[in-house]
Amino acid sequence: MRITTETKIRDYVRKHPNAKASLSNWITLTKESTWKNIQEIRAIFPHADLVTVASGRTVIIFNISGNNHRLITALHFNTRMAFILKILTHAQYDKNNWKSEL
């Protein structure tokens, strides 16, 4: 897959360096992937979740760095594009404010 918003990851890692290794691993595995559905994603990332947000769209959430961070993505399997929508700490994610923003 092609990751179109990788700068969001670099910006996040500057503020949260403990997420760097896990996010780098996610980038590598995602770029190498040929995923066609959530089941194929879960073969590599077992805790990936589908969540429907306020807009009615479905996003895919990845647990990062021992569940300390959450990576919220829009993956378009048909075009092999991965969009980074948000990266949050676990505490920010738990507030659920992000659902109404997407």
Percent of the chain with pLDDT over 90: 89
Query: What pTM did the predictor assign?
Result: 0.93
Count of structural domains, the chain: 1
- Give the pLDDT mean for 43-63: 96
At residue 80 the predicted structure's pLDDT band, cuts being 50, 70 and 90, is very high
Question: What distance in Å separates the CA atoms of residue 4 and residue 21, rounded to the nearest whole number?
Answer: 19
How high is the pLDDT of residue 78? 95
Q: Which residues pair with 72 in a beta bridge?
A: 61, 86
One-character DSSP codes across 57-85: -EEEEEEETTTTEEEEEEEETTTTEEEEE
**pLDDT at residue 45 greater than cutoff 90:** yes
For the residues 64-83, what does the mean pLDDT come to? 95
- Parent domain of 24: 2-101
- Residue 96: pLDDT above 90? no
